[in-house]
Amino acid sequence: MGHLGLTPQSASSLGGFRVQGKDAARAARIVEDAKILEEAGTYAILLEMVPDRLCQLITKRAHIPIISLGSGPDANGQLLIFHDMFGLYPALQAENGESVWQRGRSHSERPQAVC
């Protein structure tokens, strides 16, 4: 499986835990890297923290499954990390500061917020 966008092992060199591919040059590089990975025979690509429009474009062009990890709803699949979903590391929360779990207002609504 290929992995593009934020790669946590390289976060410090990428400017921290931030959305990757916001500018045109970096977005074009991610699109090209996705094409290279597909041509090399990877069976799927994980796009981590790239803009949702970029994820949508790559998903539309690819002939293999694209999995989104914080890259919008338009991929073939979604990956949620338990610690992110439940806000267990406040220092690493999403830009809006909200975990998926917090979207439900009451305990009875929280399971629906995740689905």
Catalytic member of 32, 39, 48, 95? 48
Active site residue 48: yes
Q: List the structure tokens of 36.
A: 């290279």
Report the relative pairing of strands 45-48 and 77-78 from DSSP bridges.
Answer: unpaired
Strand ranges inside the chain, DSSP E = 2-5, 45-48, 66-69, 77-78
Q: How many CB atoms lie within 10 A of CB 105?
A: 9
* Residues marked as catalytic: 48
